[in-house]
């Protein structure tokens, strides 16, 4: 981007016109609401809205992609070339490397990758964090960071590859483990009512997480497991770890189990023992 284009880009981010592709979905709607006080106009584009993604892209100063992960690159390839080169392109997907590469390739605009590390319905007192990845230009990064931080959201700056590698563990393995746990429950021969009757608080908490998972789209979790290349390696590590523990239990090898447990304590550091 030339010096003149960068100057124009900064000007366009003063009270900009924003289009959110997928703005009628939950995350897109949340992001639109957060941006609204800082924008001249928000165009929420969905499957049934009067305005099309093509028309919105041509009219906006900021173009945000908030579509299902499996469709993100395809939508970027189609819509990004229609945006002005002095606009800002962003995406909100849980994987960053592929969408950002697509935005950089199919447009000359500024590019920022964003991943809110919380759901749109997330509540509570815990601090919310959003990852930002710089793609092209500086003005857009400064603009969205200021808006997030003024909205009470902590910003973590990362490279796309570092983000995806960490998410392979955090999202991929976490959901893989929850699904395996759910399958074990469903195949146990015990009804959910029977299990919940005997449940400890820790077990109940885990079941509640699975129930929350079952209330969401299978497409979401399938994408989290399959769209991030880093997830497969971590899931394989999880599976191998489970096999090692199973072998210890089958052999009754308490000594080997103890060594494994102590090595894990070394990773997690000093932890207060619970009575």
Q: Are 61 and 26 contained in the same domain?
A: yes
Query: In Å, how far are 36, 238, 264, 265, 266 from 269, measured between CA atoms?
Result: 44, 20, 9, 6, 5
> What pLDDT is recorded for position 84?
93
- The domain boundary, picked from 158, 191, 226, lies at 158
Q: How far apart are CA 130 and CA 120, in angstroms?
A: 12
DSSP 200-254: -HHHHHHHHHHHHHHTS-HHHHHHHHHS-HHHHHHHHHHHHHHHHHHHHHHHT-H
Is residue 274 one of the residues assigned to a domain?
Answer: no
> What pLDDT is recorded for position 99?
97
Tokens 């880009």 found at = 9
Task: Provide Rg for the chain, Cα atoms.
Answer: 22
Q: What is the mean pLDDT of the chain?
A: 92
**What's the rounded mean pLDDT across residues 212-232?**
92
Is residue 273 one of the residues assigned to a domain?
Answer: no
**What's the rounded mean pLDDT across residues 160-187?**
96
Write out pLDDT tens, residues 23-35: 999 999 999 999 9
**What's the rounded mean pLDDT across residues 71-98?**
96
- Give the CATH number of the domain where residue 236 resides: 1.10.3660
Q: Kindly tell me the burial class for residue 95, based on how many C-beta atoms sit within 10 Å of its own C-beta (0-12, 13-18, 19 or more).
A: buried
- The domain boundary, picked from 131, 158, 185, lies at 158
**5 pLDDT above the threshold of 60:** no
Instruction: Specify whether the CB–CB gap between 63 and 39 falls below 8 A.
Output: no
Q: Considering the chain, what percentage of its residues have pLDDT values greater than 90?
A: 84
Write down the pTM of the prediction.
0.88
**231 pLDDT above the threshold of 60:** yes
Q: Read off the pLDDT band of 1 (50, 70, 90).
A: low
**Of the candidates 77, 156, 83, which has an alpha carbon nearest to the alpha carbon of residue 114?**
156
Q: Are 38 and 131 contained in the same domain?
A: yes
Domain encompassing residue 29: 3-158
> What pLDDT is recorded for position 4?
43
């Amino acid at each position: 981007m030339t010096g003149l284009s960068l100057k124009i880009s900064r000007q366009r981010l003063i009270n900009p016109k924003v289009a959110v592709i997928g703005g009628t979905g939950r995350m897109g709607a949340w992001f639109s609401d957060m941006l609204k006080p800082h924008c001249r106009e928000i165009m929420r584009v969905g499957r049934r809205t009067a305005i099309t993604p093509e028309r919105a892209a041509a009219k906006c100063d900021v173009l945000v992609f908030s579509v299902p992960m499996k469709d993100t690159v395809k939508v970027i390839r189609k819509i990004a070339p229609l945006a002005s080169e002095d606009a800002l392109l962003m995406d909100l997907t849980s994987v960053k490397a592929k969408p950002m590469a697509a935005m950089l390739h199919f447009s000359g605009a500024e590019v920022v990758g964003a991943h809110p590390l919380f759901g749109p319905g997330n509540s509570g007192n815990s601090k919310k964090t959003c990852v930002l990845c710089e793609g092209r230009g500086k003005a857009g990064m400064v603009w969205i960071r200021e808006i997030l931080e003024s909205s009470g959201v902590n910003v973590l700056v990362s490279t796309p590859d570092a983000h995806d590698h960490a998410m392979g563990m955090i999202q991929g393995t976490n959901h893989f483990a929850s699904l395996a746990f759910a399958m074990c429950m469903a195949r146990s021969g015990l009804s959910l009512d029977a299990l919940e009757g005997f449940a400890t608080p820790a077990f109940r908490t885990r079941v509640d997480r699975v129930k929350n998972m079952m209330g969401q789209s299978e497409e979401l979790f399938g994408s989290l497991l399959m769209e991030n290349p880093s997830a497969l390696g971590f899931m394989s590590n999880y599976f191998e770890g489970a096999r090692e523990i199973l072998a210890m239990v089958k052999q009754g090898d308490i000594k080997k189990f103890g060594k494994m447990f102590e090595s894990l304590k070394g990773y997690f550091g000093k932890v207060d023992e619970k009575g």
